[in-house]
Amino acid sequence: MGDEALSAGAVARRLGIAVTTLRTWHQRYGLGPSQHRPGHHRRYTPADLARLEIMRRLTVQGVPAAEAARVAMATRPGGRPVEPATGGRSGGGHTIAVGRSGAVARGLARAAIRLDAPTMRAIVEQSVAVHGVTRTWDQVVRPVLAGIGARHAVTRRLVEVEHLLTRCVSEVFGAVPRPGPGAVPRALLACADDEQHSLPLEALAAALAERGVPCRLLGARVPIDALLEAVRRTGPVIVLIWSHSPDTADRSQLRALLELPARPVVVAAGGPGWPAEGLPGGVERLADLTSALEMIVVVTQG
């Protein structure tokens, strides 16, 4: 057995997940250790680890576990991706899998793959008008972004598709009418330092606007010093720091807010990047848009 083979505990520590999660992925999806010697526990090889890293990255991005496992298992030994069948037409077309999402998400995915910005905007605008921001985000936009992420993990393609779709969705969410100038924002939203995925916060700000709740949105990659200065100057009752990936979920940012002399009533860690356990005491973990929306409405309107 080679020196590079790892135990389950070592792999879990390297990935930043629980050993029980690792075992679940093994039992349900076959993402287990492949190296075995009689009389010894099985060990994870570098190829096994590469697949598990894909699995972790995709699940953090919101890809359903079964789909993430399918993508991970389609990876060649050594971590080199296999190009799956695209289902596209001859000439280089591709499809974006959106799972069990409905026709609207499938239509958005088709428009995205064509780089058809007017149609993307029209689909998202219509969905927001009929169903609201939260349902549009959860059932239309997020499944398409997750599908793009899953394909990118395998092919390293579709970056241009993700960027254009993100821009179109951002424009639609930004156009949702905000409360008037007399409304005082009591919520402050910011991405963690080095976190570039601000679209979920833009969706949250738009969903709050639908409820008549104003907020301040600082956007992507907010250094902690800038965030603390904004809190001192505006005195929000709730501050939410968004992290899309464990790589940007720095607990020191939360502790800095908690240590302010005039700290916010609620300090919240929003997004899938933050761990389910181990956050500083007094921090609320809000993993998705709906929970963040409800918390902010209660705190600011109470």
Task: Give, for all 302 residues of the chain, the pLDDT tens digit.
Answer: 344 678 888 888 888 788 888 888 988 888 888 876 655 567 888 888 888 888 887 776 666 777 778 878 875 444 444 443 333 333 234 678 888 888 899 999 999 999 999 999 999 999 999 999 999 999 999 999 999 988 888 788 999 999 999 999 999 999 999 999 989 999 999 999 999 999 999 999 999 999 999 999 999 999 999 999 999 999 999 999 999 888 899 999 999 999 999 999 999 999 989 988 899 999 999 988 999 999 999 999 87
- Sorted by where each starts, the structural domains of the chain and their CATH numbers stand as 8-73 (1.10.1660.10), 103-174 (1.10.1240.10), 187-301 (3.40.50.280)
DSSP 95-155: ----TT--HHHHHHHHHHHTT-HHHHHHHHHHHHHHH-HHHHIIIIIHHHHHHHHHHHHHH
Q: Which of 190, 178, 279 is nearest to 236 (CA)?
A: 190
CA gap 142, 220 in Å, rounded:
18
Whether pTM exceeds 0.95: no
CA gap 284, 165 in Å, rounded:
31
| Residue 135 neighbours by CB distance under 10 Å | 15
212 phi/psi in degrees, rounded to 5: 80, 20
